[in-house]
Amino acid sequence: MTGGAGRLRGKVVLLTGSTGGIGVEIARRLAEEDASLVLTDVDRDACARLAAELPHLERHQPLALDISVEQQWRDVIDGVAERFSGLDALVNNGAIGSAATVVDEDLDRYNRVIKVSQTGTWLGMKHAGALIERSGGGSVVNICSILGTVGGLGNSLAYAAAKGAVRTMTKNAALHWARAGVRVNSIHPGFIETSQLLARYEGSERHRAMLANTPMGRLGRAEEVAAAVAFLAGDDSTFITGSELYVDGGWTCA
């Protein structure tokens, strides 16, 4: 599944969590669609290596960003405004998780998941969204999860709490910006076949449960999430805001 239609030509897109499994595929798809990318993650060198693999290396800017730290957001947005003079889209992909249950989770880990996955998403909307508005409008795409909507397999309590908040914040921000030209939507992947997921679960009872509870009978692919991002980030979705796009193989309709 590839892009390359140039639907994002001339657009500047900021991507968080660029170097994770889904983030890399989002970066590749957006670059194939001719976007100029601001690639961010906590490891700038990893972002730079990713940029070097993409078409039109000279268009892309790798930057270090801990999404839970507001001053780092301010610094990144200042850098984007200086280099590109504006911003057309934000893809809030950065997040961390925990597989612990409501009983097994501990407070420090819970707070860390909320700080990064929930608060970090809000800080992205606050700072990058404001630049998008000043630039004449565009798109915010929040990568959420089916666990922001349903209970999943009964674990990952902190992650579910964070993603449930992202789901609602998306709608709130969509209403705030509805007449300002900034669209805000969420994408809700099901269980996606990344190296991290397979390393943790492949062959386990939980892995079998992921497959059994997905009506399509397989895990999703990261490039399938990336295709949904490309649609919402560009001009094919200009009358869509506050919506939830599920890339889950039918999990939430079963």
Catalytic residue among 110, 159, 201, 246: 159
159 is catalytic: yes
Which pLDDT band holds residue 3 (cuts at 50, 70, 90)? low
Average model confidence (pLDDT) for the chain? 95
Give helix 44-53 / helix 21-32 axis angle, nearest 10°.
40
3-state secondary structure (DSSP) of residue 84: helix
- How high is the pLDDT of residue 1? 47
Tens of pLDDT along 132-155? 999 999 999 999 999 999 999 999
- How high is the pLDDT of residue 200? 77
Quick one: average pLDDT of 32-44? 97
Domains of the chain: 12-247 (3.40.50.720)
The rounded distance, in Å, linking the Cα atoms of 176 and 2 is 34
Structure tokens belonging to residue 11: 């657009």
- How high is the pLDDT of residue 83? 96
Strand partners, 62: 39
Tens of pLDDT along 48-102? 999 999 999 999 999 999 999 999 999 999 999 999 999 999 999 999 999 999 9
Please say whether the beta carbons of 12 and 77 come within 8 A: no
- How high is the pLDDT of residue 65? 98
Short-list 93, 86, 88, 1, CA closest to 39 = 93
The rounded distance, in Å, linking the Cα atoms of 179 and 182 is 8
Q: Which residues contact 202 (CB under 8 A, 6 or more apart)?
A: none
Structure tokens belonging to residue 229: 């991002």
Tens of pLDDT along 153-212? 999 999 999 999 999 999 999 999 999 999 999 999 999 988 777 777 788 888 899 899
